[in-house]
C-alpha cells in the first residue's frame, strides 16, 4: 500500500520545514521533498524605503546570521553611493566589516557544530532522542559544552564591538562603517574578555583546532557513515578572491562541476544575473537557483563550507591551510561530494575565522578614523558575500529620490535547495526502502542529511533540539494510517 510520511517540523535546523517521503505499495521510496512552508516577503516590503535603511531592515530576515544580510546589503549600498563594489572602502571600514563577518562566521559555525550537529556525532544518530540533544551534550561532555558557549560568546562579542549589538546592529553604513575598534576592545579580545583568558583570540584558535580534531577522530571510527551518507555528485559554487584564495567577504563567482572543471570562471559578482537563474516550484516557498548556462536540470549546485573548499585554491591562514590540504588530499584534489563532510569543511572554516580574527585584531588600521567613502551615485547596487551557510546575493534598484524600487535576495539556503532535497532522498532511500515500519532513528537520519547543510529555513532563532516532531503515514488515498508525535 502506498504511504506518505510527513516529518514536520524538521528539528535542530533554524526555522520550520516539512519533509514528505512517498513510498509505493512495496515500501520503496518514490519521491522525497523538503518543503519550506514559511514566507517572509522581505523583497517586497523593503521597496519604498530609503536605501540606507536596507542594511538595518533586511538583517531582520535572520537571528542567527543577521550580520551576513547586514553586510551584503551594505555592500550593495556601497555601489550605490559610489564607494566601489567591495573594494573601495577605507582600510578601517573594510577591516572592521571583515572582523564583524569573521565574528559572525565563527559564532554561527560553532553554534551549528556543537549545538545542532554534535549530538548526532557524540551519541550516534540512533541514540535515544532524550539524550541526543544539546542538553545531553552539556550533561555528558561539560568541558566541550563550556568551550562551545565561550566560543560562541567570543564571536558574538566581536559582532557587538563592530556592529554595536550582538544581534541586529548598525555598524555597516553605505560606503563604510559608523565606528572603529577601541584599543580597550582590541586588548580585551586579544588577551581575554573581562580578563578571562579563556575568552582570548589564541584560545579560540586552540579550541577550533580541538573541535576539528574531534571531528577527524570521529571520522576515523565512522568513515563509512560520514563518507557514504547522503553522498551524491554535484556542482559547487562560491566566491573566491581573484587569486583563488578562500575569501568570505568579497570575491568573484566561481563554480566547478563534479569533476572539478570550472563551469563559472571567476565572474565579477556584479554580473551574477549572467550566471544564475531561479526556478519556482508549486510546493515550496523557496526558489530553486541553477547555473544559467547549464539549465535547471544540470545546473543546480551546492554552496556553503563544502562548496567553498571545493572551489577555492587555498586558504590564506596557516593552520586552516594545513587542514585544507588534508581535506583536499582525501578526495585526491577532486571535489568532495560527501554531504557529511560539510561538518569537516565547516570546522576548517571555523579555524580560519579564528585565525583571521586574531590577524585583524593585531592590525592598527582598525583604530583608524576615516570611516566612510562616497563617490558618484548610481541607481543599482549588488552585494554578494559568503555567509556561514553559503553565497548570499543582495540586489537593489533605487529611484532618483533614494527609495528602493526593486530588491532581489538569493539567500544561502535557497542555493542549497535542490541539494538538500537530494540529500533527503538519498537518506530516505538508504533508511526506508523496504521497511514496513518507520522508526525515530530513520526519521532522524533524514534530518541529519538536511542538517549537514546547516539550513536556515526561515532565518529564525528557535532551535533548542526539543522541537516537536510529527510523523504521519498516509495511504494511497490520502487517509491517515498512523501518526506519531514527539516533544509535543
Partner 1 sequence: MSETIETSSETITLTIDGQEIQAKAGQTILQAAQKNGIYIPTLCALHASKENGLKSDIAPGTCRICTVRVNGRTMAACTTPVAQDYIVENDTEELNDLRKTIVELLFVEGNHFCPSCEKSGSCDLQALAYRYQMLSPRFHYAFSSREVNAESPKLLFDRNRCILCRRCVLAITTEDGKQLFGFTKRGDKSGIIMDEELVKNISEEQAQQAMHICPVGAIIRKEKGFDTPFGQRKYDHNPIGSETVCTTCNGEKS
Going residue by residue from 297 to 336, which x/- string records binding to partner 1, judged by CB under 8 A? Answer: ----------------------------------------
Binding to partner 1 (CB under 8 A) within 387-406 occurs at 401-403
Binding to partner 1 (CB under 8 A) within 133-172 occurs at 164-165, 168-171
What span, in angstroms and rounded, lies between the C-alpha atoms of 193 and 191? 7
- Nearest CA to 448 among 212, 8, 128, 118? 118
Going residue by residue from 165 to 204, which x/- string records binding to partner 1, judged by CB under 8 A? Answer: x--xxxx-xx---xx-------------------------
What span, in angstroms and rounded, lies between the C-alpha atoms of 186 and 143? 27
Q: What residues form DSSP beta bridges with 122?
A: none
Residue 465 CB burial class (10 angstroms; 0-12, 13-18, ≥19)? middle
- Nearest CA to 416 among 288, 266, 299? 288
Stretch that binds partner 1, among 45-53, 144-152, 267-275, 386-394 (CB under 8 A): 45-53
What span, in angstroms and rounded, lies between the C-alpha atoms of 273 and 34? 26
Q: Render 184-243 in DSSP notation, one character per residue.
A: HHHHHHHH-GGG-GGGSHHHHHHHHHHHHHHHHHHHHHSHHHHHHTTB---EEEEEE-TT
Q: Which of 8, 38, 43, 53 binds partner 1 (CB under 8 A)?
A: 53
5 vs 459, beta carbon nearer partner 1 = 459
| Least gap, CB of 172 to partner 1 (angstroms) | 9
160 vs 430, beta carbon nearer partner 1 = 160
- Look up residue 185 and give its three cell numbers: 576592545
CA torsion 19-24-27-28 (nearest 10°) is: -80
Strand order through the sheet with 29-35: 29-35, 18-23, 3-8, 469-474, 480-486
Going residue by residue from 76 to 105, which x/- string records binding to partner 1, judged by CB under 8 A? Answer: -----x------------------------
| Least gap, CB of 43 to partner 1 (angstroms) | 15
| Least gap, CB of 50 to partner 1 (angstroms) | 5
48 vs 468, beta carbon nearer partner 1 = 48
- 227 forms part of the interface with partner 1 (CB under 8 A): no
Handedness of CA 460, 424, 113, 144 (dihedral sign): positive
| Least gap, CB of 169 to partner 1 (angstroms) | 7
Cis peptide preceding 348, ω within 30 of 0: no
Binding to partner 1 (CB under 8 A) within 343-382 occurs at 372
40 vs 179, beta carbon nearer partner 1 = 179
263 vs 398, beta carbon nearer partner 1 = 398
- Nearest CA to 386 among 304, 454, 467? 304
42 vs 474, beta carbon nearer partner 1 = 42
Angle of the 341-361 helix axis to the 201-221 helix axis, nearest 10: 170
> Total residues contacting partner 1 (rule CB under 8 A)?
24
First to last CA, the chain: 28
| Least gap, CB of 181 to partner 1 (angstroms) | 11
Q: Which of 5, 7, 13, 56 binds partner 1 (CB under 8 A)?
A: 56
Query: What is the binding site for partner 1 (CB under 8 A)?
Result: 48-50, 52-53, 55-57, 60, 81, 164-165, 168-171, 173-174, 178-179, 372, 401-403
Amino acid at each position: 500500500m502506498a504511504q506518505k510520511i510527513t516529518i514536520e517540523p524538521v528539528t535542530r535546523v533554524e526555522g520550520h520545514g516539512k519533509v514528505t517521503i512517498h513510498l509505493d505499495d512495496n515500501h520503496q521510496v518514490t519521491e522525497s521533498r523538503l518543503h519550506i512552508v514559511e514566507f517572509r516577503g522581505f523583497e517586497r516590503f523593503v521597496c519604498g524605503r530609503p536605501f540606507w535603511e536596507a542594511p538595518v531592515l533586511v538583517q531582520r530576515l535572520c537571528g542567527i546570521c543577521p550580520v551576513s544580510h547586514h553586510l551584503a546589503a551594505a555592500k550593495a549600498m556601497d555601489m550605490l553611493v559610489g564607494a566601489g563594489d567591495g573594494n573601495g572602502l577605507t582600510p578601517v571600514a573594510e577591516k572592521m566589516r571583515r572582523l564583524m563577518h569573521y565574528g559572525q562566521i565563527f559564532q554561527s559555525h560553532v553554534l551549528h557544530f556543537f549545538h545542532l550537529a554534535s549530538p548526532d556525532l557524540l551519541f550516534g544518530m540512533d541514540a535515544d532522542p532524550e539524550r541526543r540533544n544539546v542538553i545531553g551534550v552539556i550533561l555528558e561532555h561539560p568541558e566541550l559544552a563550556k568551550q562551545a558557549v565561550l566560543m560562541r560568546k567570543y564571536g558574538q562579542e566581536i559582532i557587538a564591538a563592530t556592529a554595536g549589538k550582538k544581534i541586529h546592529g548598525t555598524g555597516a553604513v553605505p560606503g563604510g562603517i559608523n565606528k572603529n575598534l577601541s584599543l580597550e576592545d582590541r586588548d580585551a579580545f586579544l588577551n581575554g574578555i573581562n580578563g578571562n583568558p579563556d575568552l582570548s583570540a589564541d584560545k579560540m584558535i586552540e579550541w577550533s583546532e580541538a573541535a576539528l580534531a574531534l571531528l577527524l577522530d570521529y571520522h576515523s571510527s565512522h568513515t563509512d557513515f560520514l563518507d557514504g551518507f547522503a553522498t551524491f555528485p554535484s556542482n559547487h559554487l562560491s566566491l573566491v578572491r581573484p587569486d583563488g584564495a578562500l575569501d568570505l567577504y568579497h570575491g568573484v563567482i566561481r563554480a566547478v562541476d563534479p569533476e572539478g572543471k570550472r563551469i563559472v570562471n571567476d565572474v565579477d559578482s556584479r554580473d551574477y544575473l549572467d550566471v544564475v537563474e531561479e526556478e519556482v516550484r508549486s510546493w515550496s516557498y523557496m526558489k530553486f537557483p541553477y547555473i544559467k548556462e547549464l539549465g535547471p536540470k544540470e545546473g543546480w549546485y551546492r554552496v556553503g563550507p563544502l562548496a567553498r573548499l571545493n572551489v577555492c585554491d587555498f586558504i590564506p591562514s596557516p593552520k586552516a591551510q594545513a587542514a585544507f590540504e588534508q581535506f583536499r588530499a582525501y578526495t585526491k584534489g577532486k571535489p568532495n561530494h560527501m554531504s557529511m563532510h560539510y561538518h569537516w569543511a565547516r570546522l576548517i572554516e571555523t579555524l580560519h575565522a579564528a585565525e583571521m580574527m586574531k590577524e585583524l585584531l593585531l592590525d592598527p588600521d582598525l583604530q583608524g578614523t576615516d570611516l566612510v567613502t562616497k563617490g558618484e551615485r548610481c541607481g543599482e547596487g549588488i552585494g554578494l558575500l559568503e555567509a556561514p551557510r553559503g553565497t548570499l546575493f543582495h540586489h537593489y534598484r533605487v529611484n532618483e529620490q533614494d527609495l528602493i524600487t526593486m530588491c532581489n535576495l538569493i539567500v544561502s539556503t535557497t542555493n542549497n535547495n535542490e541539494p538538500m532535497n537530494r540529500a533527503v532522498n538519498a537518506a530516505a532511500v538508504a533508511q526506508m526502502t523496504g521497511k514496513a515500519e518507520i522508526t525515530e532513528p530513520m526519521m532522524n537520519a533524514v534530518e541529519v542529511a538536511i542538517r549537514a547543510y546547516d539550513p536556515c529555513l526561515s532565518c529564525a532563532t528557535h532551535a533548542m533540539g526539543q522541537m516537536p516532531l510529527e510523523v504521519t503515514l498516509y495511504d494511497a488515498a490520502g487517509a491517515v494510517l498512523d501518526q506519531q508525535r514527539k516533544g509535543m
